[in-house]
Amino acid sequence: MVERLRIFVRGWKAYFRLAQTPSVWRELDEWMRHRLRAIQLKQWKQGRTIFRELTARGAKADVALQVAGNSRRWWRNSAKLLNAVLTIKWADQLGMPRLA
């Protein structure tokens, strides 16, 4: 999915590169990473898998347990608790280009 999205993001960035709206770019960039985190949680599906994957990525046990306990609330979990685990560096490793 990141491969397909990369094509569009590069196009948007090239087309709107002269726009004087850095806050819009920053918000869109944050939203795209938020959406990627939510999709990742949705792909892990079960609480056990979420807990295992988050602890393997360096999350504290209580944070991983809290996210795994709310395993069906992908959007909410991806907004707050996962920012420390699935960071900008994680998105960069996936190949997601930055807008801001």
Mean residue pLDDT across the chain: 89
Token representation of residue 37: 């985190």
pLDDT of res. 93: 92
For residues 5-9, average pLDDT? 89
- Give domain limits for the chain: 25-94
d(CA 68, CA 34): 17
d(CA 23, CA 78): 21
pTM: 0.85
59-81 pLDDT, tens digit each: 999 999 999 998 888 888 888 88
89 Cβ neighbours under 8 A, 6+ residues apart = none
The closest of 96, 81, 98, 99 to 36, measured between CA atoms, is: 96
pLDDT of res. 71: 85
Token representation of residue 17: 């590169």
d(CA 86, CA 37): 7
